[in-house]
Structure 1
Amino acid sequence: MKWWTGEYYDNGRKKFESQGGFLDEDVAFNHGMEQLAEIRHGTHVSNRDGSMLMTDWVDTWAGSIDHAHLTERGYKSVIKNHIKPYFKRKTVGEIDVIAYRAFKKHVNGKLAPGSAGNVMMVLGMILDDAVPRLIKASPVERTRRRGRFVKKPKERKKDMAPAAVERLALNAEIFFGYPGYVFIWTMAMTGMRPAELFGLTREYCYPNWPASDPRPDPEEAERYEEDMERYGKGGDLMPAIRVERQVQYEEHELRFFTAKYGSVRTLVVPVFLAEMLEKLLASHNSEWVFPAIQGGCLGAVNFDYKYWRPIADGAEKREGPRVRKPRAEIPAVPAFKGKRLYLIRHGHKAWLDEDGHSKFAVESRMGHEVPGVEGTYSSVTVPMERAIMRSLQARWETLQESLKRSKS
């Protein structure tokens, strides 16, 4: 049986497909009519497309996606390490429900549940996008909940006490100097993401910003002028940090990317932190507000392992003739021992919630989109920002009073 695919070669000749092996003329004719019906309805999969290797389709798919840098890097890592090695001899047409289940079993046997779920999510997108060009229907099995609801486990967190943050800051100062002390308090008082802090440079930090803003976007001219009237040093201006970018690795090179989810924003800071930032920038000549021990960018080091773990979990004293850089003992901080650095960001939001600030102002400060009518009609006003500054300053002053009483 032979039928026209509805396509033409470059020379104008029609493209035909065929299939043999029929023992009955009526069966063959009906098969051909089914192919023509599928072609008319756009659901036909040609022999050529159906025989495309899975590895070739995965490369085509990966080249077509357009996501944020970290998301795209994660997808390509899953493809390289799990999907391509497993399906390297399979065609797309051979990936049926049975093959899908076998891969799922394989992945679940090798990876933690969260990582396995991420791999299956990527494979699901790859197979879904193969419909209807390469396969007629996706073999991906969608999870449907049956039976009793089981709540997902949630990370256990403790209230973030200012005294615990101070201990972290002192530990960070022992580990990498005054930049470490200010780094911890900046994260606690702004809720900035780690990569945003790593990539913070002088021109976007108080007291330089907004006068030092590079102003790269002509369409933002009105916002630039408003920033000059609202933020800065002296008078009624509010001290602030501008979050425009983060640092991440791409092709083995540390590069700037826009803030996560495009969450560029301005963060007012309390008076005590403004004074710390001004003192910090005056103490060094690095372009980075928080330089690493060797003077480079913190994004270039394995911060979680090399810096954060000793700061949170504690470390022994370093001394003696063979020690290149002596260091005092770093005491553990129980509230953060074994925990993630990111929890300081979570703690900042909890502080703002405790102080009763506007939901829109809080979510905007965290770099989150507020959905619905509230997100459309609300805006962060000067009184909202001043209220945030006052409440954060009050936490610092209460801590200082407490420390004085404990010493007396």
Structure 2
Amino acid sequence: MAYAEKRGNLWRARWKGPDGHTESQSGFQKKTDAENYGRDQEAAIRNNSYVDPRAGKITVTEWVNLWFPALDLEPNTLDNYRYFIEVHILPAFGDRELRSLEREEIATWEKRLRLSRRTAREARSTFTNLLNDAIPRYLQTNPAARRRGKGRKGQRRIAEAERKQKVWATPLQSLLLAERCALLSGEDTDFVMNITAAYTGARWGELLGLPPDRVRPGAIDIHWKLYELNGRFYRGRPKDGSMRTIDTPPFLDELLAHQMAGRKAGSCTCRGTEEPWCPGGRYVFLSPTGAHFRRSNYSERLFRPAADGWHPKRNGKHGRPAMPVLVDMGEPWPGKPVPPWPPAEAGEPFTPPTGRGVTRLVSDEERGRCSECRRTQLLRIDGTLIGHNSDGGRCPGGGKPPAEDVALASWLPLSPGLTPHRLRHGHQPWMDDTRIPYVLQSERMGHEVPGMRGTYAHPTPDMRIALVKALQQFWDESLAARARLAPRSGVAMLDTLLSAYRGR
């Protein structure tokens, strides 16, 4: 039983710890305070919430060395944890004892991190997770945890407004986006992949990890996902174990069948010899070289230009400013993309860029484009093209006037800020708009229905039929709307689909 003993002018609390040894805590002004403290410790022992007074002396670095090796998480999650711990947490708090950490100093540390606000929040969240597992053995409370309702109300409301304003794509925008991506790459694969993302709500990694044997008429089995880590890929189960079967409308079955039938080889070029790296396998969506699409590279080359109408700014050794996506309007609408040029400035005369490696699309006083081989050649004094070779032979364009300049235009922004993951988010309002029951929505998105509702609710065949009909209708309406914009497309697959609407 806890008791108090006199120590000079102060009192010391004494109680028996979980291991049978007598523990103590000094510094109490009154005997009753010491006795109450000792009884509280005994109650904590009975409730399995007892914290050894000496345990908090462990440093953050020592605790990390105990905590991190015991984690059983995906390698990319572990890599993120390792980055925040080694780069931000340990340099600031590594030598500190756990019991010395204060909530206010951790909040100040988060504010002073030279990171984006979102990344700084993730760094603190990692710190919070790290210290959560130190309770109750080493800590009673988590000093890194954020107090609810204590932040600036304005910031919370702004964050909520920004969350609601995040863009998502309508069926027509999804179609136009997929078309633009395919025009930029020159491959039908990008058209089918982005349409599949929009009409299934599948995650980016789930699309990359989709094997052909998981695609069947009327359904796609999402059983695997490809995770990207430092430029390499490994296969794992979907996020949170959300293995599921997604119902597909007839048009998507046809697109996927065409995609798989048209590929000469469906095996990736990975040759991982150690776990967990991809050793190679068959996948529905691969680049022309048989490699997996890398998220950042795909976003910079295709997705951002398609959604924003601009090539994003590029940093590094071969950096360049943001440039508009220029297209040759001599080709079917919305034009064939050409190499990027700097944007024109209002009120300033525009001079087309020249130099080695720059594609000449307009003529000048010295050079012109050949109407036969389409290459830029020097001009004679009389303004005709000099004689030149093309494809190993003499080009018949020599001596003729240069071809007309390319009719250039720039793409308008389609859905600025759209990301591949926002295609998944857009699938949710599509289902809401057609009043698809929540239980089927959750199953399709790979979410759990909480509580007893999730235990007893199940999608019915009629629900699935209604969903498939709604998605097919979305597609038919978006395809008709696209045909009204222009009857042809530079994407071979889409051009074939539009043929049914020509002449209407």
TM-score between both structures, scaled by the size of structure 1: 0.74
Query: What secondary structure does 1:342 align onto?
Result: helix
CA offsets 1:98-140 (integer angstroms, 9 cap, x no match): xx42232122122333333333233233334334433455435
Structure 1 residues 34-183: aligned runs within 5 Å: 38=41, 41-42=44-45, 43-45=50-52, 47=54, 49-67=55-73, 71-95=77-101, 97=102, 100-110=103-113, 111-140=115-144, 142-145=146-149, 151=157, 152-155=160-163, 156-157=165-166, 160-176=169-185, 177-183=187-193
* Partner residue, 2:339: 318
Q: How big is the shift at 1:17?
A: 8.4
Pair 168,405 (structure 1): closer, same or farther in 2 beyond 3 Å: closer
Q: How big is the shift at 1:80?
A: 2.3
Query: What secondary structure does 2:420 align onto?
Result: coil
Q: Which sections of structure 2, spanning at least 5 residues, go unmatched? A: 1-6, 267-281, 310-324, 327-337, 341-354, 362-405, 488-502
Structure 1 residues 366-377: aligned runs within 5 Å: 366-377=445-456
Q: How big is the shift at 1:393?
A: 1.5
How far apart in 2 are the matches of 1:355 and 1:129? 44
* Partner residue, 2:318: none
* Partner residue, 1:200: 210
Q: How big is the shift at 1:369?
A: 1.4
Pair 175,330 (structure 1): closer, same or farther in 2 beyond 3 Å: farther
Code of the residue aligned with 2:161 in structure 1: it is: P
How far apart in 1 are the matches of 2:43 and 2:432? 58
Query: Residue 297 in 1 paired to residue 318 in 2?
Result: no
How far apart in 2 are the matches of 1:245 and 1:113? 32
Pair 198,257 (structure 1): closer, same or farther in 2 beyond 3 Å: same
How far apart in 1 are the matches of 2:409 and 2:38? 73
Query: What secondary structure does 2:174 align onto?
Result: helix
* Partner residue, 1:275: 254
Code of the residue aligned with 1:368 in structure 2: it is: H
Query: Residue 399 in 1 paired to residue 399 in 2?
Result: no
How far apart in 1 are the matches of 2:16 and 2:230? 42
Contact kept? 2:171, 2:478, Cα under 8 Å: yes
Which residue of 199, 219, 223 corresponds with 1:189?
199
Q: How big is the shift at 1:34?
A: 7.0
How far apart in 2 are the matches of 1:180 and 1:62? 39
CA offsets 1:135-154 (integer angstroms, 9 cap, x no match): 45543565242697863223
CA offsets 1:317-359 (integer angstroms, 9 cap, x no match): 13999589x9x98964624223222222222222222122222
Pair 135,269 (structure 1): closer, same or farther in 2 beyond 3 Å: closer
Q: How big is the shift at 1:197?
A: 0.9
* Partner residue, 1:240: 219
* Partner residue, 2:423: 344
Query: Residue 307 in 1 paired to residue 302 in 2?
Result: yes
Code of the residue aligned with 1:194 in structure 2: it is: W
How far apart in 2 are the matches of 1:254 and 1:172? 23
Contact kept? 1:310, 1:330, Cα under 8 Å: no
Bigger strand fraction: 2
How far apart in 2 are the matches of 1:178 and 1:127? 49
Query: What secondary structure does 2:245 align onto?
Result: strand
Query: What secondary structure does 1:79 align onto?
Result: helix
CA offsets 1:85-104 (integer angstroms, 9 cap, x no match): 11122222322x2xx42232
Q: How big is the shift at 1:165?
A: 1.9
Superposed CA RMSD: 3.9
* Partner residue, 1:254: 233
Q: How big is the shift at 1:275?
A: 1.0
Pair 76,144 (structure 1): closer, same or farther in 2 beyond 3 Å: same
Task: Give the fraction of aligned pairs with identical amino acids, expressed as a percent.
Answer: 26
Pair 137,377 (structure 1): closer, same or farther in 2 beyond 3 Å: closer
Code of the residue aligned with 2:308 in structure 1: it is: D
Pair 263,333 (structure 1): closer, same or farther in 2 beyond 3 Å: farther
Query: Residue 353 in 1 paired to residue 362 in 2?
Result: no
Contact kept? 1:247, 1:299, Cα under 8 Å: no
Q: Which has the larger radius of gyration?
A: 2
Pair 7,82 (structure 1): closer, same or farther in 2 beyond 3 Å: same
Contact kept? 2:167, 2:417, Cα under 8 Å: no
Query: What secondary structure does 2:161 align onto?
Result: coil
Count of residue pairs brought into register by the alignment: 361
Contact kept? 2:308, 2:417, Cα under 8 Å: yes
Q: Which sections of structure 1, spanning at least 5 residues, go unmatched? A: 9-13, 207-231, 233-238
Q: How big is the shift at 1:199?
A: 1.4
Query: What secondary structure does 2:94 align onto?
Result: coil
Which residue of 365, 386, 390 corresponds with 2:465?
386
Query: What secondary structure does 1:356 align onto?
Result: coil
Deviates more, 1:374-383 or 1:294-303: 294-303
Pair 276,57 (structure 1): closer, same or farther in 2 beyond 3 Å: same
Pair 323,393 (structure 1): closer, same or farther in 2 beyond 3 Å: farther
Bigger helix fraction: 1
Code of the residue aligned with 1:103 in structure 2: it is: I
Deviates more, 1:377-386 or 1:183-192: 377-386
TM-score between both structures, scaled by the size of structure 2: 0.61
Code of the residue aligned with 1:295 in structure 2: it is: G
Query: What secondary structure does 2:233 align onto?
Result: strand
Contact kept? 1:263, 1:367, Cα under 8 Å: yes
Contact kept? 1:198, 1:299, Cα under 8 Å: no
Code of the residue aligned with 2:108 in structure 1: it is: K
How far apart in 2 are the matches of 1:65 and 1:322? 51
Pair 352,33 (structure 1): closer, same or farther in 2 beyond 3 Å: closer
How far apart in 2 are the matches of 1:350 and 1:204? 26
Q: How big is the shift at 1:66?
A: 4.0
